[in-house]
Amino acid sequence: MPDSIMYQEDCFVVLESDKSEEFLTHQELFQKLKELLQTRQIELPRALQKFTSIDEQAKHLMENYSEVDVGPNHYLQWYVVRLEKL
């Protein structure tokens, strides 16, 4: 049986072209993806076209992917991290 800790998330490390890595909470990443999606509705990836709201699209991205295409030579990736105090 898998350990339930595998499904816990403290935050996300976000990697973006031309920027330093940053740590975001679940809500901060959700907001960042929503803002990105608001400007990209015309060129929306096929997997997101079935969702009618930007909230649904952002939620689907967060739960099922770890990156989104933001254009040639650019990237936006995120990974769940658990922070442990030593």
21-53, pLDDT tens digit by residue?
Answer: 999 999 999 999 999 999 988 888 888 999 999
Q: Per-residue pLDDT for 7 more than 60?
A: no
Name the pTM for this structure.
Answer: 0.82
The neighbour count for residue 19, using CB atoms within 10 Å, is 9
* Euclidean distance between CA atoms 64 and 32, whole angstroms: 16
Residue 13 — very low, low, confident or very high, per pLDDT cuts 50/70/90? Answer: very high
* Euclidean distance between CA atoms 37 and 52, whole angstroms: 12
**Structural class in CATH, domain 4-81:** alpha beta
Sequence ranges of the domains in the chain? 4-81
